[in-house]
Structure 1
Amino acid sequence: MNVADLVAIDVHTHAEVSEDGHRSLSPELFGASEEYFKAQGHRQPTIPEMAAYYRERKMAAVVFTVDAEHATGHRRISNEEVAGGCAEHADTLIPFGSVDPWKGRAGAREARRLVEEHGIRGFKFHPSVQGMAPNDRTAYPLYEVIEEVGVPALFHTGQTGIGAGVPGGGGIRLKYSNPMLVDDVAVDFPELRIVLAHPSFPWQDEALAVATHKPHVYIDLSGWSPKYFPPQLVRYANTLLKDKVLFGSDYPMITPDRWLSDFEKLDIKPEVRPRILKDNAVRLFGLDAVGRTPSTGGA
């Protein structure tokens, strides 16, 4: 990965389909998400197809799935498959893992192995889908390992399209995705680099408060078209958080083409734009000129 040649780093994309056609969510929850994003009928890309898509645009992309086996009873896409697919396209893809926090110390051992043996560069959590508050002590052995190995943890925050419109929300509890619950994690693991994913509706002010108060907490802008960003998010991105806000699309539900087109119309200072699109992610991931990180040696 030649970072200097990249125009942007998308820190939030989903590997939704495995090589054998298995999806990371049940048909009911996946269908609700497609309906929410008005993405019905869109073909879900494979990891090689994602690589080709981003390579064509001279972008890099962080790729992950969600391990929520305990809460959903649905088998995850293998972290090893994500890592291997990204390793084959290391010029453009950055692999993140996902370990169900209900797995406790077994999950912690898995996380260490994924980083040390498979080049995983961070971990994705979706508290609402995984059915656990981020500050539940069951997850703490997992966070301990992630902090120790020095890779980021990305937490879904706010509303989710998963389960939207399904009776009972498909069992998805929105309260677990309040960013104030992640504030406890930032206190208890002060060296852990944390990303709060999405404009955190209805808790946008809470997310801004946590990110301004805790030095290692970032915000990604995925899951929303920039034309719908709350004004306070734009204001903070231009000022207090200009070094801690990250470009993310939520591909394939939202394409980077659509996101970037709307971002061009947003009132963002010219000197802040490159920070959001690439520079902040380069610093967060510790990437050098050719995309390696000191902690993992690259994927």
Structure 2
Amino acid sequence: MIDLDALVAIDVHTHAEVAENGAESLGGALKAAADAYFRAGRERPTVPELAAYYRERNMAAVVFTVDAETATGHPPVPNEEVARACADNADVLIPFAGVDPWKGRVAVRQARRLVEEHGVRGFKLHPNLQAFFPNDRMAYELYETITELQVPVLFHTGQTGIGAGVPGGGGVRLKYSNPLHVDDVAADFPDLTIILAHPSFPWQDEALAVATHKPRVHIDLSGWSPKYFPPQLVQYANTLLQDKVLFGSDYPLISPDRWLADFANLPIKDEVRPKILKHNAARLLNLQ
């Protein structure tokens, strides 16, 4: 139902942070830390409000929650609820889902059900918040299922604002988010489509190496204002990775308005800019 010709851009990285009952995806100190890191008393839209926001801008958006219940004890915004709201706003929203790899075969069954019964189009994993290395074998049955379902999986990579500034980082450990751990997954599951989320500070070169080496690995540019992108990321986006780099904002942490305004000032080639903003995502998500 998405009219690609009418779209300005496809944002592949937005968060469902508020459930229908008002419950939020993060609690307590971690939520406060994320707000402080991104310098926000920020709005937390519901999924229908997010749809209206992107519709006003002639954009589409991938929406997901993060299930880190095993590590944090905090339940996520329900995936089924996100999928239902996306179905009600299918002209602008594309549902991904968050699954907790520590839930083992429960997560595997959940992933299959979410795709086959609820129309989910991909998955989001957050190794820092979920406290697992992407190449941990306990997650491999989940990857096998996602590969079989022929949908992408998006991994958080690099530093996270969740827990930043809290004593001990709120227990969130950065070691899990080195993109080289995802390289093992890409090697072991060559038919799995992978997105490395964010400029991967302090492992940007590792992310570029993985994306140039593994054919089905992509990079989204969310979570940072483009004016802070490292020069090698801009160089590769303009050249070797021009067909594998995707616009993402991290909304509501960073607004697409701010992201696009700063992106306009980057020295991106005219023929590459529409690939990053729309065409690469449309192809990856089979929207064409």
Specify the alignment match of 2:117 in structure 1. 117
Q: CA deviation at 1:26?
A: 1.5
Q: TM (normalized to structure 2)?
A: 0.99
Q: CA deviation at 1:3?
A: 1.3
Aligned length: 287
Specify the alignment match of 1:291 in structure 2. none
Specify the alignment match of 2:252 in structure 1. 252
- Deviation sequence 1:223-281 (CA, Å, 0-9, x none): 00000000000000000000000000000010000000000000100000000000000
Q: CA deviation at 1:136?
A: 0.6
- Which letter maps to 1:130? Q
2:50 aligned with 1:50, yes or no? yes
CA–CA distance in 1 between the matches of 2:187 and 2:99?
Answer: 21
- Deviation sequence 1:133-167 (CA, Å, 0-9, x none): 00111111111110001000000000000000011
- Which letter maps to 2:268? I
Q: CA deviation at 1:42?
A: 1.6
2:61 aligned with 1:61, yes or no? yes
CA–CA distance in 2 between the matches of 1:231 and 1:43?
Answer: 31
CA–CA distance in 2 between the matches of 1:151 and 1:224?
Answer: 25
Alignment of 1:11-160 (within 5 A): 11-39=12-40, 41-160=41-160
CA–CA distance in 2 between the matches of 1:117 and 1:88?
Answer: 15
- Deviation sequence 1:82-113 (CA, Å, 0-9, x none): 00010000000000001100011111111000
Q: CA deviation at 1:27?
A: 1.8
Specify the alignment match of 1:268 in structure 2. 268
CA–CA distance in 2 between the matches of 1:75 and 1:85?
Answer: 19
- Which letter maps to 1:27? G
- Which letter maps to 1:172? V
Residue ranges of structure 2 left out of the alignment (5+ in a row) = none
Q: Indicate the SS of the match to 1:161.
A: coil
Q: CA deviation at 1:4?
A: 1.6
How large is the RMSD of aligned CA atoms in angstroms? 0.6
2:181 aligned with 1:187, yes or no? no
CA–CA distance in 2 between the matches of 1:129 and 1:243?
Answer: 29
- Deviation sequence 1:34-62 (CA, Å, 0-9, x none): 100001x2220011110000001000000
- Which letter maps to 2:251? Y
CA–CA distance in 2 between the matches of 1:239 and 1:209?
Answer: 14
Residue ranges of structure 1 left out of the alignment (5+ in a row) = 289-299
Specify the alignment match of 1:202 in structure 2. 202
Specify the alignment match of 1:234 in structure 2. 234
Q: CA deviation at 1:191?
A: 0.4
CA–CA distance in 1 between the matches of 2:38 and 2:266?
Answer: 21
Identity rate, percent: 73
